[in-house]
A and B are shown apart, each in its own frame.
Chain A
Amino acid sequence: MADEIPTTTHTIEFPYTRTLGPVFSAFLTGMRDGRILGIASRDGKILCPPTEWDPWTGDALEPTLTEVGPGGTVETWAWVETPTRKHPLHHPFAFALIKLDGADTALLHAVDAGTINAMETGMRVTPRWKDERIGHITDVEAFVPEALGA
């Protein structure tokens, strides 16, 4: 096969930058600084990830964010046995909805638990931060079981 050229590869790329607005700007600035932030809804619930509007009334929310976590509880999860190259981890992991301590809604993120047998609804997890953070949701590389530490 080495001498053959059975296929050709095409790559189409479209890079762009999206402005964030006051809420996501504050949220991702927090990620860059190693803090996970939520926003208070009109009735005092803490939403994480934060939204710009109250999901129940549609009212605009004050862009004053409060810190949540860093630990949290897995509410539900799905195991990814064969990650694609665009997945956050390149070995088997779980996507999970994680309700961080102090928050009333759950954040979708990856859980690096090693094996599916280590996954359980209700398990405690804590973020593993990247050393170099840029202000992006992937500044948390993954959450890990609290027993393993970050």
Chain B
Amino acid sequence: MTKGTEPVEGMDYFMQLEYHELLCPVVRRYAEALRAGKLIGHRCPKCGLVYAPPRGYCPIDVIETTDADEVQLADRGVVTNYTVVTPVQYYGQEETEPFAKVSIQLDDPGGALSLQDVLEVPVDQVRVGMRVEAVWAPPKERDTGEIGNRSFGSAAGAIRGWRPTGEPDLPADQIMQAAF
């Protein structure tokens, strides 16, 4: 069985580079916590800023943070900004319809996650100030295989997305000062 009878005029090339990267301890601990249904972060002992996920350092104070600085984070928060992506059908693109990626300022003790998915809300109704809560994947379906050393902010594979809590929106001026 051969393909076609027309002259062969093109040749498909498929360049692929696959590499494996050791996860640093702080990322491994973060991924383990996600699989256990917990979001964790580090609170800088000097400036008090909460990093989610933990980085193992505070870039502002230039000091190391350790397990001693670990805090469990809330899985509820407020949308502080968002981007609507209209997908172009390049190779590998799985999305076909416009979708939103949002940043979420988490409730106390704080921390912020970026590039999160919103569930149960039409794209044109995503807005700053919307109160949301995490929708966790069932424990057996949590897969943190995509979390790498540079995937700051990702909870992919453990949290499916964030849905509205139904609480009133937070006025935008209350979150203007919330910096990532």
- B68 cross-chain contacts in A, Cβ below 8 A: none
Interface string of B1-32 (1 = CB under 8 A from A): 11110011111111111111111000010011
* Assembly CA distance A11 to B154 (angstroms): 18
Q: A25 and B8: CB pair below 8 A?
A: yes
Say whether chain A's binding surface is mostly helix, strand, loop, or mixed. mixed
Known: A8-B147, A8-B149, A10-B148. A17 touches B7 (CB 8 A): no
* Assembly CA distance A100 to B92 (angstroms): 41
Q: B16 and A5: CB pair below 8 A?
A: no
Find the residue from A8, A10, A13 having the highest chain B CB count within 10 A: A8
Interface string of A33-59 (1 = CB under 8 A from B): 110000000000000000000000000
- B31 cross-chain contacts in A, Cβ below 8 A: 5
* Assembly CA distance A79 to B155 (angstroms): 47
Known: A17-B12, A17-B13. A8 touches B146 (CB 8 A): yes
Q: A11 and B16: CB pair below 8 A?
A: yes
Q: A15 and B8: CB pair below 8 A?
A: no
Q: Which parts of A79-125 form the interface with B (CB within 8 Å)?
A: none
Interface string of A1-35 (1 = CB under 8 A from B): 00011111111111111111000111011011110
Pick the contact of B15: A4, A14, A34, A134 (CB < 8 A).
A14
Q: How far is the CB of B101 from chain A (nearest CB, A)?
A: 20
Q: A132 and B11: CB pair below 8 A?
A: no
* Assembly CA distance A64 to B28 (angstroms): 61
- A135 cross-chain contacts in B, Cβ below 8 A: 3, 8, 11
Q: Which parts of B23-79 form the interface with A (CB within 8 Å)?
A: 23, 28, 31-32
Q: How far is the CB of B3 from chain A (nearest CB, A)?
A: 5
Q: A131 and B1: CB pair below 8 A?
A: yes
Q: A15 and B15: CB pair below 8 A?
A: yes
Contact of A128 with B by CB under 8 A: no
Q: B144 and A5: CB pair below 8 A?
A: yes
Q: Which residues of B are interface residues toward A (Cβ below 8 A)?
A: 1-4, 7-23, 28, 31-32, 91-92, 144-149
Q: List 18 A-B contacts (CB under 8 A).
A: A5-B28, A6-B28, A9-B20, A10-B19, A11-B16, A11-B17, A12-B16, A13-B17, A13-B91, A13-B92, A17-B10, A17-B11, A17-B13, A25-B8, A25-B9, A32-B3, A34-B2, A133-B3
Q: Give me 4 other A-B pairs in contact (C-beta within 8 A), A8-B146, A9-B19, A135-B11 excluded.
A: A9-B21, A15-B91, A20-B8, A131-B1
